[in-house]
Amino acid sequence: MCSTKNPMPKLPLKVRFLIAAHSMSVDAVSRPGGSAVNRRLMSLFDPKASPSTKPDKGVVSSDIMVDTTRKLWFRLYTNTATSGPHDGQTDTPIIVYFHGGGFAFMAANSINYDDLCKRLAREIPAVVVSVNYRLSPEHRFPSQYEDGFDVLKFIDNSDIDGFPAFGSSKKPFFVAGDSAGGNLAHHVALRACQHRFSRLNLGGVIALQPFFGGEERTESELKLVGVPLISVKRTDWMWKAFLPEGCDRDHQVVNVFGPNSVDISELPFPATLVVMGGFDPLQDWQKKYVEGLKKSGKQVHTVEYPNTFHGFYAFPELPESPLLLAEIKTFVHNHLPH
């Protein structure tokens, strides 16, 4: 049970079962010290979805290879209602999405992420690019950030089958992600805001319960014990598996506004939407992130759902899930060029 005064609302049976299965699988496949993941065993607990060549409630998807040598690819989602030849498709924003999983688990074609990206494509509406980046500990920092930025350059420089046509003006895009993917979105945006794209224009960052940390133990980490999915033991393992040997959690990519952080005040970093949950042990780090962005003079919008746990957005049956999609839609449309 959570050790806060107000207990977390009871979850539907299906949600509780899926959370228990995921937590058990992560613990079962994680070898001590962040040294390895049993991928074969993990595949049994992480079912994959095939691309939707026929419209699924108006959304079709396909897999696009970026680099065969590192098996870097993305799943492209397009909304058939906004992809006709004469319907102003060049105004449809692109959302480049990075899945969560502590940098070590899940994939772009994991069923929960396939469903989430279809919902984004359908309801924003948007062209969604879900990046299948390399995983730790086989591939440690900075592999994931390099993969994310290389996908942006690939989109900017390639004519991609099934991708909506570029118009005469630059096409707006947003980098987005949840948990570790939210961390990725921040760091890829740092690179993107300093890069001159020929056909893309960075509109914003969407960080859903982003995964940040540090050597300090925050109040929420200490108090929120026994909540779904996140524990200090698991997050410590994930950072150890992700960071280069010898680095601690005050590394600048973990503690982004900590003692080793990089000053971003002079960079053209875009507006950021940060989503937090009241039963997420990472919420204090997310609040530090918001404070850091504000102190750096950056525009930041926050949304807090007091009754949600880490990863709630993966469950469309929860009441906050459609509310979140509405918030993302508002943020995206408010930050499109006018």
Enumerate the active-site residues. 179, 280, 310
Count CA atoms within 13 Å of residue 122 on its CB side. Answer: 14
DSSP SS3 for 132:
strand
The alpha carbon dihedral of 248, 187, 146, 331 has a sign of positive
C-beta separation of 210 from 179 below 8 A: yes
C-beta separation of 8 from 230 below 8 A: no
Which residue has tokens 């900075």?
142
C-beta separation of 325 from 122 below 8 A: no
**Structure tokens belonging to residue 269:** 């970093």
Question: What span, in angstroms and rounded, lies between the C-alpha atoms of 138 and 236?
Answer: 17
